[in-house]
Amino acid sequence: MLVAALAVYPAFGTGYGVRAMLQIFMWIALAGSWNIISGLTGYVSFGHVAFFGAGAYAGAILIAKAGWPWVLAAPAGGAAACALALVIGYPCLRLKGPYFAIAMLGLNEVLRALVSYFEGLTGGGSGLSLPTLHATVPIYYAMAGTAAAVTLLTFLIITSRFGLRLMTIREDELAAEAMGIDTARHKLYAFLLSAAGPGIAGALAARDQGYIEPISVFPLATTITMIVMALFGGKGTVWGPVFGAAVLFVAQELVWARFPYVHQLLFGAIIVAVVLLMPRGVLGILQVKYRLPRTI
């Protein structure tokens, strides 16, 4: 029912409605992907938007400079993000706790600087324009597919022993190693899987917006938003990031429309409330309280 409703929505919805749904799909893909590495292994990535930005630039360059159609540029954006994850995951995943978080934060700043520096390819600080194309509805479906794929991937991981092993890293990495679990390899796989979604979403967002610049695709606020969405919905659950992304996006829009000057403040208050009052998130609390299976 829901799937069918979402599938026909572009035919009936307003322009604003379709764009809003597209944004929700993007946040589901981002929050869900962050959940795969950070919600399951406990390695908090504070620079996950780097994969979004890498996908956006890879996709935009392929479209604008190489003339690729966006349907091919989008998976290429995902591949670029995975390649980046492979290169930086290998050294960075050896870092524990806050050091990993800080390294990821640093990575994002480095990427932003690099993109600004290589003006010939990226347009530097003045940004990169894509050829005009009205493709909001096809991109709506592509983004919906990305969100669905990330959620399905999360489901498959969480219901497998691979997913349980990722959780042992979060629970007690030393004990996991002592049990014969190759934690380094598991973390790297999870990291790669968590980079693909943001890479694809980044390329799609770049195509949709038609113009990207370093500050628009590497903002720290995007990382924080996806983290808050995953935490609010329930980290380490399948549907938590979906729920968190949908609810918080709508809440943010409502607040922004009514209280344009204080919406940042209110969003900040939500972050503090979530962290303090329900670190497990909505679905996490329900899961523990009502003994729900891991499939939620």
Partner 1 sequence: MPAPVLELRRLSKRFGGVTAVDGVSLALEPGRIYGLIGPNGSGKTTLFNCITGVERRDGGEVLFGGERIDGLKPWQIAQRGIGRTFQIIRVFPELTALENLLVVTRGAIEEARAHALELLRFVTLERLQGEYAGNLSYGQQKLLEFARVLMRDPALILLDEPAAGVNRTLLNDLLAAVARLRDEGKTVLLVEHDMKVVMGLCETVFVLDHGEKIAEGPPGAIQADERVIEAYFGR
Q: Write down the least CB distance from residue 270 to partner 1, Å.
A: 24
Q: Counting contacts by CB under 8 A, is residue 213 touching partner 1?
A: no
- Closer residue to partner 1 in complex, CB, 35/168: 168
Q: Write down the least CB distance from residue 288 to partner 1, Å.
A: 8
Selected from 120, 180, 261, 277, the binder of partner 1 by CB under 8 A is: 180
Q: Counting contacts by CB under 8 A, is residue 161 touching partner 1?
A: yes
Q: Write down the least CB distance from residue 213 to partner 1, Å.
A: 42
Question: For the range 247-252, what are the long-range contacts, defined as Cβ-Cβ under 8 Å and sequence gap of 24 or more?
Answer: 248/27, 249/20, 249/23, 249/24, 249/27, 250/24
Compute the distance between CA of residue 149 and CA of residue 164 in angstroms, rounded to an integer. Answer: 20
Q: Write down the least CB distance from residue 239 to partner 1, Å.
A: 18
Q: Helix or strand or coil: residue 212?
A: strand
Selected from 44, 83, 149, 181, the binder of partner 1 by CB under 8 A is: 181
Q: Write down the least CB distance from residue 287 to partner 1, Å.
A: 10
- Closer residue to partner 1 in complex, CB, 126/295: 295
Q: Counting contacts by CB under 8 A, is residue 172 touching partner 1?
A: yes
Contact 227/246 with Cβ under 8 angstroms?
Answer: no
Q: Counting contacts by CB under 8 A, is residue 235 touching partner 1?
A: no
Among 35, 33, 83, 36, CA closest to 55: 83
Selected from 79, 135, 141, 177, the binder of partner 1 by CB under 8 A is: 177
Q: Tell me how crowded residue 185 is: count the other CB atoms within 10 A of its CB.
A: 11
Selected from 102, 164, 266, 285, the binder of partner 1 by CB under 8 A is: 164
Structure tokens at 173: 């990495």
Contact 23/226 with Cβ under 8 angstroms?
Answer: no
Amino acid (one-letter) located at 114 = L
Q: Write down the least CB distance from residue 93 to partner 1, Å.
A: 14
Q: Helix or strand or coil: residue 262?
A: coil
Compute the distance between CA of residue 182 and CA of residue 173 in angstroms, rounded to an integer. Answer: 10
Binding site for partner 1 (CB under 8 A): 161, 164-165, 167-168, 170-172, 174-183, 288, 291
